[in-house]
């Protein structure tokens, strides 16, 4: 609690300092508190901060996970985006890509923001709520209402999320994470057919065990740092079907203190003890997780449905041949089946506009342009002659498109580009990864935690993570689960559960 109060106090000081003193733009040293365009640059802007199409461009400082100017593909992309904005929107802008250190993106981003360096356009993948609560992120609803293109491509879940939490925008289909395995490995194992026909936790266990016993993989599955990815497979099978579970007496309990969660953690402990669950999963990052899969250390990994699965498959085939294409595994089947309930309270990741940016209108016009046919052509298809060729008036996608190109911004279900596309944007496996979850789709019953409970909720989340890791690794016996439950309720869980029951009932 004291740490959170200190953090809030620090953030308030930062906001005051940035608002009063920011000079912005590239002329600021790192961490000086500027955001977007120097005073000289902003003199070229009109009254609504729209830069004139002549003169010095307005600098839009941008931070996005894994996007660096040192990567030639991204350098080419943002050069092309600058040119397209000037041609189609009359926006004379220059992107400055802010670099973050290697490691946990959410943590490093918060360190940047807490240091007073707040870019104009910010991609979050966690850690955004404390920043929003300090008033540092712009409410996007009035911008969307007046947009040319964005409001027309938003899907139902986007609309619900932006109404509930108006600071993050992430226009993509509902894409849970799905498990994949090499096709040649699946077909070569006796347990593979049983898993596909009846994917119970027991059949998953048998499949992981044969993967390891056969010498094909060192361990059955790995994940990136926590349980979020493996939970997409097993939550529903063990009865963790929503954030708040309804009990027989009609009241609700938090799923992570339920008997269903205990049963699931006991299963994970079994996998861990037998070496079927990567014993180094807590230190894995996304890149080391993927590397373990490509090298054959991990038999199964979990990736975001859609384009990410295309990239995984292209890389696996490049390394091991066409027979090493991927197969999407079904979610485990038990109490229920599915890849988990969908949160509609907020986007879990997405783009935000700095509330202290001098160029908020310009930043949103960039986001709006990326929803236009011209913007979608660049963002979804890449570069002509590299990622597609125009043949008989249609865009024919190249191998490079499937192996390296992924949209940086919006991916609405309906493709609206300036040129029709021959064939599909996704390979068969990636397309299946999108279609399979749709038959299991359902909304979660979670809700935004009230501000007065946020610090408590964060502490309770950390408490769960500590206990869960100890249960899985065997540092604590699963028989101690009730001690965790008691501690969870005693440290604020009782009050939040009472709030949840008032709200849900």
Q: Output the domain CATH number for residue 291.
A: 3.40.190.10
282 plus 193 within the same structural domain? yes
160 plus 202 within the same structural domain? no
327 belongs to a structural domain: yes
DSSP string, 320-375: H-GGG-EEEPPPPBSSSBSS-PBP-SS-SSEEEEBTT-TTHHHHHHHHHHTTSHHH
36 has a pLDDT exceeding 90: no
CB 300 within 8 A of CB 179: yes
Greater pLDDT, 357 or 27: 357
- Looking at every residue in the chain, the average pLDDT score rounds to 89
Of 3-12, 86-95, 213-222, 468-477, give the lowest mean pLDDT range: 3-12
200 plus 275 within the same structural domain? yes
pLDDT grade for 448, boundaries at 50, 70 and 90: confident
360 plus 373 within the same structural domain? yes
225 belongs to a structural domain: yes
235 belongs to a structural domain: yes
The token pair that represents 372 in the structure block: 């236009």
Predicted pLDDT of residue 351: 98
Question: In terms of C-beta distances under 8 Å and separation of at least 24 residues, what long-range contacts does 413-418 make, across chains too?
Answer: 413/155, 413/173, 414/153, 415/376, 415/380, 416/153, 416/373, 416/376, 417/373, 417/376, 417/377, 417/380, 417/381, 418/373, 418/374, 418/377
DSSP strands (E only) in 135-215: 177-182
Greater pLDDT, 175 or 96: 96
252 has a pLDDT exceeding 90: yes
Residue owning tokens 């709006």: 368
77 has a pLDDT exceeding 90: yes
In three-state form (DSSP H/G/I as H, E/B as E, the rest C), the secondary structure along 402-457 is: HHHCCCCCCCCCCCCCCCCEECCCCCHHHHHHHHHHHCCCCECCCCCCCHHHHHHH
154 plus 30 within the same structural domain? yes
User: What distance in Å separates the CA atoms of residue 353 and residue 118, rounded to the nearest whole number?
Assistant: 10
Is pTM beyond 0.85 here? no
108 belongs to a structural domain: yes
Predicted pLDDT of residue 24: 34
192 belongs to a structural domain: yes
147 plus 271 within the same structural domain? no
How many CB atoms lie under 10 A from the CB of residue 98? 21
- Among candidate residues 125, 498, 184, 447, the one with its CA nearest the CA of residue 313: 184
User: What distance in Å separates the CA atoms of residue 81 and residue 378, rounded to the nearest whole number?
Assistant: 8
User: What distance in Å separates the CA atoms of residue 242 and residue 106, rounded to the nearest whole number?
Assistant: 25
2 has a pLDDT exceeding 50: no
Which of 363, 397, 417 delimits the end of a domain?
Answer: 417
User: What distance in Å separates the CA atoms of residue 181 and residue 50, rounded to the nearest whole number?
Assistant: 49
- Among candidate residues 62, 65, 125, 83, the one with its CA nearest the CA of residue 353: 62
44 has a pLDDT exceeding 80: no
253 plus 286 within the same structural domain? yes
332 plus 353 within the same structural domain? no
Whether the CA torsion 384, 388, 392, 394 is positive or negative: it is negative
Residues 463-469 have a mean pLDDT of 98
134 has a pLDDT exceeding 80: yes
Residues 87-116 have a mean pLDDT of 93
In three-state form (DSSP H/G/I as H, E/B as E, the rest C), the secondary structure along 10-28 is: HHHHHHHHHHHHCCCCCCC
DSSP string, 43-111: TTB-TTSPBPSSSSPEEEEEE-TT--TTSHHHHHHHHHHHHHHHHHH---EEEEEPP--SS-HHHHHHH
Predicted pLDDT of residue 27: 32
User: What distance in Å separates the CA atoms of residue 17 and residue 9, rounded to the nearest whole number?
Assistant: 12
365 has a pLDDT exceeding 60: yes
169 plus 186 within the same structural domain? no
pLDDT in tens, 94-108: 999 999 998 889 999
42 has a pLDDT exceeding 90: no
332 plus 469 within the same structural domain? yes
pLDDT in tens, 284-295: 998 999 999 999
Distances (CA, A) of 171 to 25, 234, 351, 400: 28, 27, 10, 24
Dihedral of CA atoms 499, 500, 503, 505 in degrees, nearest 10, equals -120
Side-chain-side CA neighbours of 279 within 13 Å: the count stands at 9
Residues with Cβ within 8 Å of 432's Cβ and at least 6 positions away in sequence, in order, are 328
31 has a pLDDT exceeding 90: no
Predicted pLDDT of residue 413: 85
424 belongs to a structural domain: no
32 has a pLDDT exceeding 60: no
Which of 396, 417, 438 delimits the end of a domain?
Answer: 417
436 belongs to a structural domain: no
How many CB atoms lie under 10 A from the CB of residue 490? 9
The token pair that represents 320 in the structure block: 């091991």
User: What distance in Å separates the CA atoms of residue 38 and residue 261, rounded to the nearest whole number?
Assistant: 52
Task: Name the phi and psi angles at 86, rounded to 5.
Answer: -65, -45
Question: Where in the sequence is the domain holding 108, given as residue range(s)?
Answer: 2-173+347-417
365 belongs to a structural domain: yes
The CA radius of gyration of the chain, in Å to the nearest whole number, is: 24
Predicted pLDDT of residue 381: 97
315 plus 463 within the same structural domain? yes
Q: What is the number of structural domains in the chain?
A: 2
Which of 378, 402, 417 delimits the end of a domain?
Answer: 417
Percent residues over pLDDT 70 in the chain: 89
What is the enclosing helix (H) or strand (E) of 165?
Answer: none
150 plus 204 within the same structural domain? no
The token pair that represents 208 in the structure block: 């992981």
Predicted pLDDT of residue 30: 27
């Amino acid at each position: 609690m004291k740490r959170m109060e200190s953090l809030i106090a620090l953030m308030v000081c930062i906001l005051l300092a940035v608002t009063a003193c920011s000079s912005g733009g590239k002329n600021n040293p790192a961490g000086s508190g500027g955001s977007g365009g120097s005073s000289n640059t902003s003199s070229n802007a009109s009254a609504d901060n729209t830069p004139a199409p002549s003169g010095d461009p307005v600098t839009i400082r941008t931070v996005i996970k894994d996007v660096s100017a040192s990567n030639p593909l991204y350098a080419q992309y943002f050069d092309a985006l600058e040119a397209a904005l000037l041609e189609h929107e009359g926006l004379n802008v220059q992107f400055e890509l802010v670099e973050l250190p290697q490691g946990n993106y959410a943590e490093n981003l918060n360190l940047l923001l807490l240091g007073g360096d707040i870019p104009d356009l910010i991609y979050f993948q966690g850690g955004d709520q404390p920043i929003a609560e300090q008033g540092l992120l712009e409410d996007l609803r009035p911008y969307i209402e007046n947009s040319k293109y964005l409001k027309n491509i938003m899907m139902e879940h986007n609309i619900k999320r932006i109404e509930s939490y108006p600071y993050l925008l992430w226009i993509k289909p509902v894409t849970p994470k799905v498990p994949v395995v090499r096709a040649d490995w699946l077909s070569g194992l006796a347990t593979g057919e049983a898993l596909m026909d009846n994917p119970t936790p027991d059949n998953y266990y048998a499949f992981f065990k044969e993967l390891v016993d056969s010498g094909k993989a060192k361990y059955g599955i790995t994940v990136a740092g926590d349980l979020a990815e493996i939970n997409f497979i097993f939550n529903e099978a063990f009865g963790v079907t929503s954030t708040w579970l309804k009990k027989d007496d009609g009241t609700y309990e938090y799923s992570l203190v339920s008997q269903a969660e205990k049963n699931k953690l006991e299963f994970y402990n079994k996998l861990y003890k037998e070496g079927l669950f990567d014993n180094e999963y807590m230190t894995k990052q996304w890149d080391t997780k993927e590397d373990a899969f490509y090298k054959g250390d991990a038999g199964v990994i979990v990736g975001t449905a859609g384009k990410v699965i295309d990239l995984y498959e292209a890389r696996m085939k490049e390394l091991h041949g066409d027979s090493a294409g991927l197969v999407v595994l079904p979610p485990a089947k038990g109490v229920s089946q599915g890849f988990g309930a969908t949160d509609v309270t907020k986007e879990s990741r997405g783009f935000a506009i700095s509330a202290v940016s001098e160029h908020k209108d310009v930043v949103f016009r960039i986001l709006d342009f990326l929803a236009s046919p011209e913007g979608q052509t660049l963002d979804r298809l890449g570069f002509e002659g590299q990622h597609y060729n125009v043949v008989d008036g249609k865009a024919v996608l190249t191998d490079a498109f499937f192996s390296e190109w992924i949209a940086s911004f919006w991916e609405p279900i309906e493709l609206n580009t300036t040129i029709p596309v021959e064939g599909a944007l996704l390979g068969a496996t990636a397309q299946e990864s999108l279609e399979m979850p749709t038959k299991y789709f359902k909304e979660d019953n979670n809700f935004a935690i009230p501000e007065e409970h946020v610090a408590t909720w964060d502490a309770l989340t950390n408490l769960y993570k500590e206990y869960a890791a100890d249960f899985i690794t065997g540092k604590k016996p699963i028989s101690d689960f009730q001690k965790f439950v008691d501690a969870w309720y005693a440290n604020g869980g009782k009050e939040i559960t009472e709030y949840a029951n008032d709200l849900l009932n």
